Amino acid sequence: MVIVMAQFKVENRIWDPAETTPRDELRRLQIERLKDCVGRVANVPFYKEAFASHGISADSIRSLDDLRRLPFTTKEDLRQHYPLGFLAVPREKVVRVHGSSGTTGKPTFVAYTARDIDTWSNLCARFLVAGGLRPEHFVQIAFGYGLFTGGFGLHQGVEKVGATIVPASAGNTPRQIMLMCDLNVQVLICTPSYALNIAEAARDHGMSPEQIPLKFGHFGAEPWTEDMRIRIEQELGVAAFNNYGLSEVIGPGVSGECTLQQGMHIQEDHFIVECVHPDTLEPVAIGEAGELVFTTITKEAFPLIRYRTRDIARLDDTPCRCGRTTVRMSRVIGRTDDMLIIRGVNVFPSQIEEALLRVEGTSPHYQIELDRPGALDQVTVRVEVRPEDFSDRMREMQALRDRIDREIHAITGLRMNVELVKPQSLERFQGKAKRVIDRRQMKVE
């Protein structure tokens, strides 16, 4: 099957036959692996205690419904057993340690055995191939290499496929552009916000999208909207694919899009997914937004049972035309710890991004600042105007502001102060973008 994309043709290929396992067989495999995993974590102090108080053992797992009897694991639990209290194998079996990026505080560490690294590489290879990667491609990895799982995870995946890696790492944007042009790189891997920075820098160098050799990109590690995808595809002249993961579960490779770009296939032969209401922890109906919870059923060094990701998304179990049998997850709408409560209303930064990008003339560079000068929360949304639309004429700028204000109100139900700022005036990020400044919390402390 050949699926025609806006930019070029991507053939649907499947890296690992396991991706098309019939669902009843997949379910049987999940039960078997879950049972095995429960047995393997039984000596991890946290689980030992929890299992004892709930009367759980590997033998008590008979169906997938039994999963719901198992305890949840949270980031806080990991912090309380800092640094490696969840290790389920002897230290000498560990070949690598990574850490979460610390977006929400002190990093947490995770560990891998040699087999875990192999599994992880294969999972990254699966989504890379799903999104067009072939052994003949040159791939530029502009994720930071280090404790963060993005750099090494994708590196291993590309290596597995046998494509050529240009390990550029993050930063030095002019050099990124030089590398991709000189080496005729077809595939870019980084965060969506960094992809846009590269596009912007290329434009500033007088390059048009046609002069950039890239054909597609695999982007992830932070929330982004469908409108952001369109901008990236247009500005870099690529097909842009989304992939998702978190270090606690394995890193990138938990899920990724196929050529159809209609949700990310979750690699269910390695992770059992649940979608729950973040307050009641009860499952939500399929298709409804909830917090994703993963149980890692094959990981050796750092298996986690029902890990609460704090990421909000929807699940879709309808069959996909690509032939993969796995459930798909929507884009991440936001993370519960990023959710802003503004005058009692829940808002995710991604909703503000969606509103901004709907308005012609805005750029995808924005910042949200919250303050509470008196009793009421005040929100200021700063957005850069596209260079060609930036004008000295008050009336035009006022009209643009009004349009943004209306979109934000339509999506969030809230009124925010909109400030239009000059092109290039907001901070740029090389990894995960930090768009929210919450001065309300600073005052409480």
Q: Which residues of this chain interact with Zn ion, rule CB under 5 A?
A: 258, 320, 322, 324
Least distance CB 190 / ligand ADP (angstroms): 12
- CB nearer ligand ADP, residue 21 or residue 261: 261
DSSP state of 283: B
Q: How far apart are CA 199 and CA 186, in angstroms?
A: 14
- CB nearer ligand ADP, residue 265 or residue 335: 335
Residues 236 and 212: beta-carbon distance below 8 Å: yes
Q: If residue 366 lies in a helix (H) or strand (E), which one and from where to where?
A: strand 362-371
Q: How far apart are CA 30 and CA 296, in angstroms?
A: 10
Q: If residue 218 lies in a helix (H) or strand (E), which one and from where to where?
A: strand 216-220
The distance in angstroms from the start CA to the end CA of the chain is: 58
Among Zn ion, ligand ADP, none, the one that 80 touches (CB under a kind-dependent 5 to 8 A) is none
Order of strands, edge to edge, in the sheet holding 307-313?
271-276, 290-296, 307-313, 334-335
Among Zn ion, ligand ADP, none, the one that 246 touches (CB under a kind-dependent 5 to 8 A) is ligand ADP
- CB nearer ligand ADP, residue 122 or residue 242: 242
Least distance CB 25 / ligand ADP (angstroms): 28
Least distance CB 176 / ligand ADP (angstroms): 20
- CB nearer Zn ion, residue 310 or residue 324: 324
- CB nearer ligand ADP, residue 21 or residue 309: 309
Among Zn ion, ligand ADP, none, the one that 364 touches (CB under a kind-dependent 5 to 8 A) is none
Least distance CB 269 / ligand ADP (angstroms): 20
Among Zn ion, ligand ADP, none, the one that 398 touches (CB under a kind-dependent 5 to 8 A) is none
Least distance CB 228 / ligand ADP (angstroms): 11
Q: 284, exposed or middle or buried, with CB in 10 Å at 0-12, 13-18, 19+?
A: middle
Among ligand ADP, Zn ion, none, the one that 222 touches (CB under a kind-dependent 5 to 8 A) is ligand ADP
- CB nearer ligand ADP, residue 36 or residue 227: 227
- CB nearer ligand ADP, residue 228 or residue 356: 228
Least distance CB 148 / ligand ADP (angstroms): 6
Query: Contact residues for ligand ADP (CB under 6 A)?
Result: 100-104, 148-149, 220-223, 242-247, 309, 311, 332, 335
Among Zn ion, ligand ADP, none, the one that 320 touches (CB under a kind-dependent 5 to 8 A) is Zn ion
> Tokens at residue 26, please?
């997949």
Q: How far apart are CA 91 and CA 119, in angstroms?
A: 19
Among Zn ion, ligand ADP, none, the one that 322 touches (CB under a kind-dependent 5 to 8 A) is Zn ion
Residues 432 and 150: beta-carbon distance below 8 Å: no
Among Zn ion, ligand ADP, none, the one that 218 touches (CB under a kind-dependent 5 to 8 A) is none
Angle between helices 114-130 and 149-161 (to 10 degrees): 70
Least distance CB 191 / Zn ion (angstroms): 23
- Site of tokens 């108080």: 53
- CB nearer ligand ADP, residue 51 or residue 143: 143
Least distance CB 310 / ligand ADP (angstroms): 7
The widest CA-to-CA distance across the chain, in whole angstroms, is 73
- CB nearer ligand ADP, residue 21 or residue 243: 243
Per-residue HEC secondary structure of 108-123 comes to: CEEEEEHHHHHHHHHH
Q: HSE (CB half, 13 Å, CA atoms) of 60? A: 13
Least distance CB 106 / ligand ADP (angstroms): 10
Q: Collect all residues with Cβ–Cβ distance below 8 Å to 189 and sequence separation of at least 6.
A: 139, 140, 141, 142, 143, 154, 158, 217, 218, 219
The candidate with the shortest Cα–Cα distance to 64, out of 87, 25, 100, 35, is 35
Among Zn ion, ligand ADP, none, the one that 258 touches (CB under a kind-dependent 5 to 8 A) is Zn ion
Among Zn ion, ligand ADP, none, the one that 101 touches (CB under a kind-dependent 5 to 8 A) is ligand ADP
- CB nearer ligand ADP, residue 132 or residue 245: 245
Residues 270 and 296: beta-carbon distance below 8 Å: yes
The candidate with the shortest Cα–Cα distance to 256, out of 350, 123, 348, 345, is 123
